[in-house]
Every structure is written in structure tokens, then in C-alpha cells.
């Protein structure tokens, strides 16, 4: 194999070649698209054909709007099918007897494959339902699971993993809250602190879409630093991903005020407490007492914030966190409702199930939803490129699931459709 | 001051070797950890070219361990939207002051006029007029905020703090005067009756007894007594204002006397407790 680099180790060159070949094999069959997505695209395209036929007979603005909405999918599918057909043709030419023809085909096949990937991507973008919060920045909240010190230490490792990952990827992230517990044995823990609760804000737009697959229970299997007999312990850290607003956004303000919005909170329903010592105040004491606690009375959600020396900053962040938590709760209730209507057709992913395991002994990180194993755990915990792959795998799993949910919804809507194909 | 158990120092040591020193001043682990973080943040956000960070950290920790208030150690205190500079010899802005100042700004924001004059007596760092000015300057085209203090150090610091509002804020709008409210003829601009929209004051209001009994140690040892206890006022003046029974109320008596001439539309005074409020306002 000839590469641009003057000398490449043979085994590296071999692995590169194999990688591209296997990718090509996959694309050749479905164009890199999940089969469920393709099925849905065909369905939508069929609907589009039917609607346009209907429109020719007599014009109806309602039908026209729907047709306009799905025309993008129909066009994308059209192009996709065409590209696939031409690729198949080129594949056929590869087996032809004419040597010149074979060479030509080989040249074309590369560009055609690239085109197919691009078209496939466009198609999936056109089809994939967008999460209503996907365009927003997000708050990543890390808390230790039930249990002792080990869970807290691991929560700290998870938090710094996300923090360094954001740094590596160039996302604008900042620590909103970092609260460590006051416990016995604090400090002797190899750089990890006993975390109580930490919140990282990723300010880039669309961060919610990137990280929403991270929400859930992260499990660790390792020998704790505090363990004396060398047994492997299992503990968990819980990650929540909450939608947030861009800090400079003016539309955000109007959205908070809008009672229809998920983010709306009636200030009358929130109790504000400033936590300070009892006794004389004012000029008598000069301790920095900037801690603040907000309680949303209807849901009992509390947020406390003491990280900044400035009380108004703490108040601002506490409100932001409260809004995000409430919005996420409201959204989850709605999704849960939708899912219960669907009668458990879809694999349910509640927060109780672990989503990922970090096994130190085997140097392995497993994503339980996509079912993929990743090695080089050090790189994962440093937020390196392997961790990027882990996040990607979770994300593609989520997209797949969203599409399956939509397919399942359609099965529900059209009772005549055969149930066997819907979901898992 | 109750004795701290040695185990607490051991646990502090496990957080950081600096923490036991901080614990002397903070008295509990959570606030020790928090203050340690703030000091470290301060060092990273204000880089020094001459001193290496670890020496600065050790130095600041040493100062704090001696009981010097954190605000003097770091030189700042956040106040509303501002970061007010603090220095030995000038009272540190308190959270209570911060919260009522923001509340006052909200009230004044709804005043249906185009011009506004606020006067703060015993201004110290100048935090009250500066925060009012910062909150209201967009709303009122002609806004004047005055601060008065008797201590030259306080007036200098307040002017320094005014500079952070930008060239506009320093140039016009906010003015600080060095004057004693007991002889205001020198240094105080003449306010025509009814011109002042809001008169605020956080005067020294702690009695001698309360200063010895109920103030925090770092307040007693490191903050200026002049800003806390009004016992520098001559006995004749106290007698003339009728405050022999409660000499800690003498500033309020004098301020209310001044109000008779200035006729401000609103007056806001910080007091120690309900008892003092009863004596001052009833």
C-alpha cells in the first residue's frame, strides 16, 4: 500500500488498510445507516408520494404543509438510492473482464463511497427527531451513589474526566459547584477528593445534545485506595445532564418569563434561605456568609450554592441550577408518560440501570447500551480521544433508540401495521 | 472561644498542609476548605511577577491564621454586582448591607423622575453609593451619588473603588467628601431642602459593652473601632443631642437632626437590632 508518509511500519499500514476496507464493507450494504432509519425513510417517502398525488387532485394547505415538511426526507432518500445504485453498478464493473474498465471503476468507487456517506448523513439528519433541548448548553451534575468514601472518590474522577474532556475538545466549560464532603480519611486518596456534589456548565450551544447520553449510573470496579486487603469494590456515581441557557442570551430571559416554558418557575413557589450563623449580625461579624439555598416548594427540589464569595453570584447560579433541574424533571415526566402509552415496547433506560462500567483491573470501559468495550481506561479518565469514542457510541445508540421510538409510535397509530417489526 | 479538638487539626492536615493554620481562624472544616479554595483562586486570578505562587499562598495563609479577616487578606469583597476593595482601617461591607442596597436600588428604579440624588453618610468603602450608582445609572440620565466619611483612608479607598465603574463613573455622578457629620460646614456640599431622594447611613452603632461582648474576634482586633463604636464623639455633643442614656445612638440623633434641614424624600438607616430601631425611629 502506498501512503503519503515516506515510511510507515508495515503492521500499521496493514491495520489502516483493513480499517478502511471494513468501513467500506459496512457502507456498501446500508450506506452506514441504521436499518431502522432506512425503513423509516422509505415510509416517509411513500407518504410523500401519496400526499403529492393527493395534492395534484385537489389542493389542501394542510396536506401541502405536511408534504413540504417531509419533502426533504423524500429528496434525500431519492439521492441516497441513486448513489447506492450507481455504487452497486461500479461494484459490478470491478468484476468485469476489461482491465481498463476495472481501473476506471476503482477510481470512481472511492468518490462514490464518500458521496454515499455524505448523502446518508444528510438523510439521517433529515430524519432524526431533534430533542427539544438538544441545541442548548448543558449542566453536567455528578453525585456519588449510595455508599461510602469510594463512591465519592470515583465521582470526583468522573467529574474531572468530563472537565478535562471539555478542555481537550475546546468546549467552554466552567465549574459551577464543587462541594467536597468532610469525612474521615479525606486527603489520603491519590489526588481524588471525596465529592459531595459537583456541577460543570458546558456553555457551547448544542452541548446538551452532545452529552445527554451521559446521564445515568456510572459504575466502577477497582481496588479502592482506602482498601487494605486488596479486594475489588464496586461503587457508582450518578451523572445528570440538565439543559441550561446561554448566559448572554436575551431570548433566555423571555423564556423564563413565559409560563408555558419548561423553565418557568413562579418566584412565589421558591423559598430562599441564606445560611448564616445565629447571633448578632451586621457590624458585629465579618465572616463571609454567601451560601444560599433555594427550595422549589411544589416539587421539593432544593439547590444550595456556596462556591462563590459573592452572594448574588451564588443566587444567580442557584436559580440557574433550579430552573434546569425543574425543566429536566418536567421533560422526563412527559417522556415517561409517552413511554407508558407505548406499553414498554422500547427497552427502557431508567436512571436505575447502570449505563457504563469502568473496570480498572481490566483497563476497560464498557458502555452497556451500545454494548461496546473500550480499552485504555487511563485515556478515558483523562478525557482523551478514547473517551470521545465512548461518548460517540452512546450518542449513536440514543439516535437509534429515538428512531425506534418513532417507528413504534407509528405502529401504535396504524394498528393494521404488523407489530413484529416495531422496536425490540 | 471553645477549644478545637486535635482530631480536627489532623483532618484539616489531610485536606492540605495549609488547612490547620486556616482552621485557627475558620473554626470548622467546611469553611476552611472553602476559604483555602478562595485564597488559591485569588492567587491564580491575580498573577504576580515578583513572588512565586507558593510563597504568596504561605504568606496569605499566615495573615489569615492571625485572624485577619479574609476580605483584608484578599483585598476585596464582592458586593452586589461590584467587587469592592477592602483595606485595613476601613470597615468591610457586610452581606446585610449588600442585600438592602440591592433592595433600595429596586425601589428607586421605579421612581418616576429623570434625575436622582442619593447621599450615603459614613460610607466607608463607598459600597452603598457605588452599588446604587451602578444599578441606576442606566435608568436615570442625571444621577448623583454622594458618599461622606470622616476617615481620610476611607475616602481615598472609596475613590479608588469608584474608578472601577469606569472613566464615566469616576468622572461624574459619584463623589466622595471627607467631612464629619458633626461639623459638616467643612467639606460637605450644601444640599438644598428636598433635593435628596434617598439618604442612607450605616453609622457606628455598637455600644461599648456590646463591642466587648458580642462582636467577633476578628472584628474587634482588626476592623476600625471608629466605624463600629461611636465613643469618639465629645460628651458635650452627646448631651446636646440627648443621648446620655444610650450613647451608641448619637449618630442617629445627629443624622435625624441633619434631615430636618435637608428634608430628604427617603431615609434608610442600618441599626443593630429591634431595640435600637425602636429608640431611633419612635
All residues at 6 or more sequence positions from A190 whose CB lies less than 8 Å from its CB, including other chains = A225
Q: Tell me, what's the pLDDT at B13?
A: 87
Compare all CA atoms of chain B with the CA of A285 and give the residue at the minimum distance: B216
What fold is seen in the domain A138-275+289-407?
Alpha-Beta Plaits (3.30.70)
Locate the domains of chain A by residue range.
Answer: 12-127, 138-275+289-407
Task: Mutation target for A interface from B19, B78, B128, B224: give the one with most A CBs within 10 A.
Answer: B78
Between these two residues, A218 and A190, which has the higher pLDDT value?
A218
Q: How many angstroms separate the CA atoms of A201 and A176, rounded? A: 6
Task: Mutation target for B interface from A284, A304, A305, A311: give the one with most B CBs within 10 A.
Answer: A284
Of A119-128, A288-297, A307-316, the poorest mean pLDDT is in A119-128
* CB of B262 closer than 8 Å to CB of B199: yes
Q: Tell me, what's the pLDDT at A12?
A: 63
A-facing residues of B in 227-266 (CB < 8 A) are 227-228
Give the sign of the dihedral formed by CA A92, CA A98, CA A104, CA A110.
positive
A296, pLDDT greater than 90: yes
How far away is chain B from the Cα of A194, in angstroms, using its nearest Cα?
10
CA A278 from centre of chain: 45
> Consecutive sets of 10 residues in chain B, 282 residues long: mean pLDDT of each?
88 87 89 90 90 94 94 94 93 92 93 91 95 91 92 94 74 85 78 91 93 91 94 89 89 91 92 89 76
Q: Tell me, what's the pLDDT at A420?
A: 43
Model confidence band, residue A68 (pLDDT cutoffs 50, 70, 90):
confident
DSSP letters spanning A238-258: EEEEEE---TT-HHHHHHHH-
Q: Tell me, what's the pLDDT at A349?
A: 46
State phi, psi for B208 to the nearest 5 degrees.
-55, -45
* CB of A140 closer than 8 Å to CB of A239: yes
Q: How many angstroms separate the CA atoms of A206 and A378, rounded? A: 27
3-class SS of residue A348: coil
A-facing residues of B in 211-230 (CB < 8 A) are 214-216, 218-219, 223, 227-228
* CB of B161 closer than 8 Å to CB of B125: yes
Give the sign of the dihedral formed by CA B119, CA B125, CA B130, CA B131.
negative
Q: Where are the alpha helices (H) located in A276-344, listed in sequence order? A: 311-341
3-class SS of residue A49: helix
Task: Mutation target for B interface from A193, A267, A283: give the one with most B CBs within 10 A.
Answer: A283
Q: Are residues A283 and B227, on separate chains, in Cβ contact within 8 Å? A: yes
Give the DSSP H/E element, type plus range, for residue B60: helix B53-65
On average, the pLDDT of chain A sits at 78
**Chosen CATH of B78-281 out of 3.50.50.60, 3.30.70.330, 3.40.50.150, 3.20.20.80:** 3.40.50.150
Q: Is B170 in the A-facing interface, judged by CB distances under 8 Å?
A: no
Question: How do beta strands A233-243 and A138-144 pair?
Answer: antiparallel
Residue position matching grid coordinates 446585610:
B96
How many interchain CB pairs under 8 A, A with B?
A: 92
Model confidence band, residue A134 (pLDDT cutoffs 50, 70, 90):
confident
- A143-172 mean pLDDT: 89
Using CB atoms within 10 Å of the CB of residue A305, give its burial: 0 to 12 exposed, 13 to 18 middle, 19+ buried: buried
Of A19-28, A282-291, A372-381, B239-248, the poorest mean pLDDT is in A19-28
Q: How many angstroms separate the CA atoms of A355 and A398, rounded? A: 12
Write the pLDDT tens digit of every residue in A325-337. Answer: 988 888 888 877 7
Question: How do beta strands A354-359 and A364-367 pair?
Answer: antiparallel
Using CB atoms within 10 Å of the CB of residue A71, give its burial: 0 to 12 exposed, 13 to 18 middle, 19+ buried: middle
Q: How many angstroms separate the CA atoms of B105 and B172, rounded? A: 19
Nearest to B69 among A187, A281, A286 (CB): A286
A353, pLDDT greater than 80: no
Between these two residues, A23 and B250, which has the higher pLDDT value?
B250
A272, pLDDT greater than 60: yes
Q: Tell me, what's the pLDDT at A137?
A: 87
DSSP letter for A142, please.
E
Closest CA to B214 of B276, B279, B153, B256: B276
- A70-84 mean pLDDT: 82
Q: Are residues B219 and A285, on separate chains, in Cβ contact within 8 Å? A: yes
* CB of A137 closer than 8 Å to CB of A246: yes
Q: Tell me, what's the pLDDT at B211?
A: 93
Give contacts of B220 with chain A, Cβ < 8 Å: none
Q: Are residues A284 and B98, on separate chains, in Cβ contact within 8 Å? A: no
Give the DSSP H/E element, type plus range, for residue A177: strand A173-180
A255, pLDDT greater than 90: no
ipTM summary value: 0.88
A145, pLDDT greater than 90: no
Q: Where in chain B is the domain with CATH 3.40.50.150?
A: 78-281
Amino acid at each position: 500500500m502506498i501512503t503519503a508518509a515516506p515510511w510507515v511500519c508495515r503492521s500499521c499500514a496493514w491495520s489502516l488498510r483493513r480499517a478502511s476496507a471494513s468501513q467500506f464493507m459496512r457502507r456498501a450494504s446500508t450506506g452506514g445507516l441504521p436499518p431502522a432509519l432506512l425503513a423509516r425513510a422509505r415510509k416517509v417517502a411513500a407518504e410523500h408520494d401519496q400526499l403529492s398525488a393527493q395534492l395534484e387532485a385537489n389542493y389542501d394547505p394542510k396536506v401541502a404543509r405536511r408534504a413540504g415538511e417531509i419533502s426533504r426526507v423524500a429528496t434525500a432518500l431519492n439521492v441516497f438510492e441513486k448513489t447506492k445504485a450507481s455504487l452497486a453498478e461500479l461494484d459490478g464493473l470491478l468484476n468485469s473482464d476489461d482491465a481498463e474498465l476495472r481501473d476506471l471503476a476503482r477510481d470512481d468507487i472511492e468518490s462514490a463511497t464518500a458521496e454515499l456517506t455524505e448523502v446518508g448523513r444528510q438523510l439521517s439528519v433529515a430524519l432524526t427527531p431533534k430533542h427539544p433541548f438538544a441545541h442548548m448548553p448543558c449542566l453536567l451534575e455528578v453525585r456519588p451513589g449510595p455508599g461510602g468514601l469510594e463512591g465519592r472518590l470515583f465521582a470526583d474522577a468522573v467529574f474531572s474526566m468530563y472537565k478535562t474532556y471539555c478542555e481537550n475538545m475546546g468546549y467552554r466549560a466552567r465549574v459551577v459547584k464543587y462541594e467536597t464532603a468532610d469525612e474521615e480519611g479525606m486527603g489520603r486518596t491519590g489526588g481524588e477528593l471525596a465529592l459531595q456534589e459537583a456541577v460543570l456548565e458546558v456553555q457551547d450551544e448544542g452541548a446538551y445534545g452532545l452529552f445527554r447520553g451521559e446521564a445515568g449510573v456510572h459504575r466502577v470496579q477497582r481496588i479502592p485506595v482506602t482498601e487494605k486487603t486488596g479486594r475489588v469494590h464496586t461503587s457508582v456515581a450518578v451523572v445528570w445532564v440538565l439543559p441550561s441557557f446561554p448566559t448572554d442570551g436575551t431570548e433566555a430571559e423571555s423564556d423564563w418569563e413565559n409560563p408555558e416554558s419548561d423553565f418557568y418557575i413562579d418566584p412565589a413557589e421558591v423559598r430562599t434561605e441564606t445560611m448564616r450563623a445565629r447571633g448578632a449580625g451586621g457590624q458585629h461579624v465579618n465572616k463571609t456568609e454567601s451560601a444560599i439555598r433555594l427550595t422549589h416548594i411544589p416539587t421539593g427540589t432544593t439547590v444550595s450554592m456556596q462556591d462563590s464569595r459573592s452572594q448574588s453570584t451564588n443566587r444567580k447560579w442557584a436559580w440557574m441550577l433550579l430552573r434546569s433541574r425543574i425543566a429536566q424533571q418536567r421533560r422526563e415526566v412527559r417522556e415517561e408518560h409517552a413511554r407508558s402509552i407505548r406499553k414498554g415496547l422500547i427497552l427502557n433506560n431508567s436512571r436505575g440501570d447502570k449505563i457504563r462500567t469502568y473496570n480498572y483491573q481490566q483497563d476497560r470501559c464498557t458502555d452497556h447500551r451500545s454494548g461496546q468495550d473500550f480499552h485504555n481506561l487511563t485515556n478515558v479518565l483523562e478525557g482523551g480521544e478514547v473517551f470521545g469514542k465512548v461518548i460517540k457510541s452512546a450518542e449513536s445508540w440514543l439516535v437509534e433508540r429515538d428512531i425506534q421510538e418513532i417507528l413504534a409510535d407509528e405502529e401504535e397509530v396504524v394498528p393494521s401495521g404488523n407489530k413484529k417489526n416495531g422496536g425490540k | 472561644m471553645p477549644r478545637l479538638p486535635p482530631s480536627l487539626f489532623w483532618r484539616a492536615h489531610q485536606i492540605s498542609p495549609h488547612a490547620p493554620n486556616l482552621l485557627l481562624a475558620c473554626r470548622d472544616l467546611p469553611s476552611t476548605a472553602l476559604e483555602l479554595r478562595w485564597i488559591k483562586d485569588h492567587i491564580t486570578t491575580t498573577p504576580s511577577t515578583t513572588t512565586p505562587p507558593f510563597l504568596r499562598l504561605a504568606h496569605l495563609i499566615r495573615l489569615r491564621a492571625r485572624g485577619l479577616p479574609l476580605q483584608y487578606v484578599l483585598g476585596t469583597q464582592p458586593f452586589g454586582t461590584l467587587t469592592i476593595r477592602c483595606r485595613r482601617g476601613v470597615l468591610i461591607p457586610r452581606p446585610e448591607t449588600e442585600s438592602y442596597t440591592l433592595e433600595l436600588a429596586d425601589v428607586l428604579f421605579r421612581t418616576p423622575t429623570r434625575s436622582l440624588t442619593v447621599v450615603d453618610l459614613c460610607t466607608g468603602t463607598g459600597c452603598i453609593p457605588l452599588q446604587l450608582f451602578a444599578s441606576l445609572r442606566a435608568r436615570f440620565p442625571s444621577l448623583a451619588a454622594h458618599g461622606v466619611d470622616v476617615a481620610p483612608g476611607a475616602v481615598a479607598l472609596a475613590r479608588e473603588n469608584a474608578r472601577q465603574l469606569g472613566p464615566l463613573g469616576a468622572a461624574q455622578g459619584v463623589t466622595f467628601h471627607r467631612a464629619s457629620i458633626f461639623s459638616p460646614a467643612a467639606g460637605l456640599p450644601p444640599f438644598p431642602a428636598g433635593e435628596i431622594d434617598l439618604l442612607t447611613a450605616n453609622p457606628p452603632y455598637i455600644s461599648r459593652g456590646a463591642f466587648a461582648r458580642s462582636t467577633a474576634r476578628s472584628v474587634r482586633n482588626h476592623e476600625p473601632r471608629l466605624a463600629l463604636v461611636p465613643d469618639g464623639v465629645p460628651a458635650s455633643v452627646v448631651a446636646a443631642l440627648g443621648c446620655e442614656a444610650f450613647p451608641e445612638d448619637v449618630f442617629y440623633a445627629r443624622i435625624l437632626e441633619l434631615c430636618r434641614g435637608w428634608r430628604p424624600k427617603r431615609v434608610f438607616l442600618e441599626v443593630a437590632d429591634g431595640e435600637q430601631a425602636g429608640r431611633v425611629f419612635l
